[in-house]
Amino acid sequence: MRTFPLRRALGVATLVLASTVAVAPAASAHSAAPRCGRSWDSLPKMNPGMSSGLIIDEQVSQERCYDRLTFVVYGRVAGYSAQYTDRVNYAGTPFAMPLRGAAIIHLRVASSVLPRLAFVGDELQPVVGFRTFRQLRYAGSAGGVADYGIGLRSELPFRVLLVPGGVVSYLVLDVGHS
């Protein structure tokens, strides 16, 4: 007779345990989803200042909610413009630079480029497997302004950040995954 309450308690415990296990993966999957509470847009961005810096490196990374392109500038970086466009021309020419992707951002940085860092038309960094970036190319420079073409999966919200520093500063382009 005592086995009945014990069996009942074991049955209830088994049901509770089974329902916890069934619910736990759904809760952890939900909490692992990116929470990208950002308020970016796809409108043109610009800062009309001129820079006295020299672009010495570029770096790319994939973050949880966006792909990032960072320019490392020796000195001060201030001026830039970034906007969606149909094409990016090689600097100082009427000739379009081919880019992979369904959308293109033309990024202009008011800084010179370290000689031999990039040649006109060079692909900056490999971006195979990135969620948003399809191709990053250097279009050349003229008058102390460097031009870049960024080929993207589609037209997505983006932002541009200036990160001042002592000897080195940074210009950052983030393009959202959605």
Q: Judge if 97 and 29 occupy the same domain.
A: no
Q: How confident is the model at residue 17 (pLDDT cuts 50, 70, 90)?
A: very low
- Which residue matches tokens 């320019």? 71
Q: Judge if 24 and 54 occupy the same domain.
A: no
- The pLDDT tens digits for 143-166 are 888 999 999 999 999 999 999 888
Tally of domains within the chain = 2
Burial 65-101 (b: 16+ CB within 10 A, else e): bbbbbbbbbbbbbbbbbbebeeebbbbeeeeebebbb
Task: Specify whether the CB–CB gap between 108 and 160 falls below 8 A.
Answer: no
Which CA distances in Å does 66 have to 63, 69, 106, 142?
Answer: 5, 10, 18, 30
Q: Judge if 68 and 17 occupy the same domain.
A: no
> Two tokens at 138?
């250097």
- The pLDDT tens digits for 57-95 are 999 999 999 999 999 999 988 889 999 999 999 988 999
Q: What is the pLDDT of residue 153?
A: 97
Q: What is the pLDDT of residue 36?
A: 81
Q: What is the pLDDT of residue 14?
A: 39
Q: Judge if 25 and 50 occupy the same domain.
A: no
Q: Judge if 61 and 113 occupy the same domain.
A: yes
Q: What is the pLDDT of residue 150?
A: 98
Q: Judge if 49 and 21 occupy the same domain.
A: no
Range of the domain at 3: 1-33
Q: 38 in a domain, yes or no?
A: no
Q: How confident is the model at residue 35 (pLDDT cuts 50, 70, 90)?
A: low
- The pLDDT tens digits for 89-117 are 998 899 999 999 999 999 999 988 877 66
- Helix residue ranges, H only, 93-156: none
Q: Judge if 16 and 68 occupy the same domain.
A: no
pLDDT at 21 over 60: no
Q: Judge if 75 and 154 occupy the same domain.
A: yes
Q: Judge if 22 and 97 occupy the same domain.
A: no
Q: Judge if 28 and 62 occupy the same domain.
A: no
Cα(108)–Cα(81) distance, integer angstroms: 5
Q: Check the CA dihedral 27-32-33-37 and report its sign.
A: positive
Q: Judge if 54 and 22 occupy the same domain.
A: no
User: Around 111, how many Cα atoms within 13 Å sit in the side-chain half-sphere?
Assistant: 29
